[in-house]
């Protein structure tokens, strides 16, 4: 990868000296919640060495390991190994990728190489409206002795002023008539109204099971997104279950979420048709979760709304 192009000289020196070189890097130092980054480790070790990578089941600190790969290239006197980890985290807190151990075994000798801690900045809101367009190299038209057109410029300027006044008057008139949009409803009220509208459609009585489950799942994700400030609407089922594990939800609320997303997934994508008790439990559990996580007005929102990593 490009991040290793400056390491040619140290690697050549290590190759000739048969010493161990340990290098690590990340693809970026800032992410939003749920984004994936690449953590790379490269090692140049003496021939016959065995490298034991760290376990990934519990992640690296607050970071979840989504997947990882390794590659080994054998040389005459040394071996080159690379480890590539795709990691992410689901907390709005600022996190640091902790030291990650790699154990080198040569015969009966063991050495442990630790990566350095790497701070990763969490960006809550990511904007894209920064497009800047510019046209370079344009020069004003040159005059080469043609007759004066001052009168034409005066007419065009007067027309331009008239046009500006006309459009400004229309904009002011439209703004005076425009109604002020009300602020968005709180997440709890929006979710309760959406559930009531969904029940009024009577999808289950009409046999429209998948339509009901899809719309109910969207309502549930929308509530979680606004209530806990995570990008739940774009989460896959796997990413949603990962977030649930590290959230600050109560155990009962976690069970409700895990059961709902785990059970509705085959209904949405494998056309599985559950029994009536399961179908009616979907809506009941979502309503129960919304009621249980309704904000307490007596507690400051910043103490309850944002989940912390488990």
Asked whether residue 167 is domain-assigned, the answer is no
Residue 230 is classified by DSSP as: S
User: Do residues 9 and 93 both lie within one domain?
Assistant: yes
pLDDT tens for the 310 residues of the chain, in order: 444 444 444 554 444 546 788 999 999 888 887 788 999 999 988 988 899 999 998 889 889 898 999 999 988 888 899 999 999 888 777 789 899 999 999 888 899 999 999 998 888 654 444 443 334 444 555 555 566 678 788 888 888 898 999 888 888 877 766 556 678 899 999 999 999 999 999 999 999 999 999 999 999 999 999 999 999 989 999 999 999 999 989 999 999 999 999 999 999 998 899 999 999 999 999 999 999 999 876 544 444 444 443 3
Q: Which residues of 112-139 are buried (b: 16+ CB within 10 A; e: fewer)?
A: ebebeebebeeeeeeeeeeeeeeeeeee
Is 126 strand, coil or helix? coil
Helix extents (H) in 7-57:
8-17
Region for 202 from its dihedrals, namely left if φ exceeds 0, alpha if ψ lies in -120 to 50, beta otherwise: left
Asked whether residue 64 is domain-assigned, the answer is yes
Indicate which CATH number applies to the domain containing 97. Answer: 2.60.40.10
C-alpha to C-alpha distance for 12 and 21, rounded to whole angstroms: 10
Q: What is the pLDDT of residue 271?
A: 85
Give the domain-ending residue among 122, 138, 167. Answer: 122
Q: What residue numbers bound the domain in which 115 lies?
A: 2-122
User: Do residues 204 and 288 both lie within one domain?
Assistant: yes
- Closest to 227 measured CA to CA, from 257, 252, 190: 190
User: Do residues 216 and 292 both lie within one domain?
Assistant: yes
Give the domain-ending residue among 122, 153, 172. Answer: 122
Phi, psi of 121 (to 5 degrees): -85, 135
Bridge partner residues of 85 (DSSP): 39, 68
For the chain, what is the domain count?
2
Tokens describing residue 153: 């410029």
Q: What is the pLDDT of residue 173?
A: 79
Q: How far is CA 306 from the centre of its chain?
A: 16
User: Do residues 194 and 291 both lie within one domain?
Assistant: yes
Asked whether residue 144 is domain-assigned, the answer is no
Asked whether residue 129 is domain-assigned, the answer is no
* Other CB atoms within 10 A of residue 14 CB: 19
């Amino acid at each position: 990868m490009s991040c290793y192009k400056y390491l040619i000289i140290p690697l050549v020196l290590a190759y000739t000296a048969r010493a161990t070189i340990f290098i690590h890097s990340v693809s970026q130092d800032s992410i939003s919640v749920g984004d994936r980054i690449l953590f790379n480790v490269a090692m140049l070790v003496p021939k016959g060495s065995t490298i034991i990578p760290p376990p990934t089941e519990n992640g690296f600190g607050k970071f979840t390991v989504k997947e990882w790969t390794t590659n080994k290239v054998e040389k005459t006197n040394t071996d080159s190994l690379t480890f590539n980890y795709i990691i992410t985290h689901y907390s709005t807190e600022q996190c640091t990728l902790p030291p990650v151990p790699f154990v080198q075994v040569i015969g009966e000798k063991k050495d442990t190489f630790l990566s350095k801690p790497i701070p990763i900045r969490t960006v809550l809101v990511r904007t894209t409206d920064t497009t800047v367009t510019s046209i370079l190299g344009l020069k004003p038209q040159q005059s080469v002795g043609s007759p004066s057109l001052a009168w034409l410029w005066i007419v065009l300027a007067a027309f331009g002023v008239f046009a500006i006044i006309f459009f400004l008057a229309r904009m002011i008139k439209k703004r005076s008539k425009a109604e002020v949009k009300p602020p968005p409803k709180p997440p709890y009220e929006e979710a309760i109204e959406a559930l009531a509208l969904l029940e009024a459609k009577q999808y289950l009585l009409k046999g429209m099971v998948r339509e009901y489950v899809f719309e109910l799942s969207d309502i549930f994700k929308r509530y979680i997104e606004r209530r806990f400030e995570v990008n739940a609407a774009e989460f896959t089922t796997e990413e949603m279950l990962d977030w649930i594990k590290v959230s600050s939800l109560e155990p009962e609320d976690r069970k409700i979420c895990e059961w709902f997303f785990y059970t509705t997934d085959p209904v949405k994508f494998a056309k599985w048709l559950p029994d009536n008790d399961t179908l009616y439990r979907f809506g009941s559990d979502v309503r129960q979760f919304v009621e249980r996580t309704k904000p307490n007005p007596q507690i400051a929102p910043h103490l309850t709304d944002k989940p912390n990593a488990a």
